[in-house]
Amino acid sequence: MNKSQLIASLDPFTDAYLIAALWTSTDDDYRPLNASYTVADLALETLQQALADCKAFQTEHYELIKADLRQAGHDFWLTRNQRDGGFWAGAWPEEDGKKLTEAADRYGTIDFYVGADGQIHS
């Protein structure tokens, strides 16, 4: 599948994850990436990694997140990157939030940046 097809097939969780990633990541001048870039600007390997991480997280925790997949995608990005907000911030029942936070933390942090090719890499 090419990059355009991958983008067209984004599920709500992954779409929200990538929107949060672009909103919280900055360029060299500290401007949020979403001010100048979209998901279409992601390098193919960055998109593929995001898809793999999102699919794995959803598969492992679907029963806890199925009520609001968009919020869960957003919170997955924020939590794995130690940002304000996320699963622990009160949008989820306390026990579920703890479980989801622990699970997201296992994925480690990830940074998006603009490469010399003008594409977003991680």
In tens, the pLDDT along 38-96 reads 999 999 999 999 999 999 999 999 999 999 999 999 999 999 998 878 998 878 999 99
Please, where are the H alpha helices in 66-108? 69-80, 94-105
Q: What is the pLDDT at residue 83? A: 87
Mean pLDDT (whole number) for 99-120: 96
Residue 120: pLDDT band with limits 50, 70, 90: very high
pTM of the model: 0.94
User: Cα(63)–Cα(41) distance, rounded to whole angstroms?
Assistant: 32
Question: How high is the pLDDT of residue 37?
Answer: 97
C-alpha to C-alpha distances, 9 to 43, 45, 47, 62, 80, nearest whole angstrom: 16, 16, 12, 19, 23
Asked if pLDDT for residue 102 goes beyond 90, the answer is yes
Task: Tell me: pLDDT of 113 over 90.
Answer: yes
Per-residue model confidence (pLDDT) at position 11 = 97
**Mean confidence (pLDDT) of the chain:** 95
pLDDT at res. 3: 93
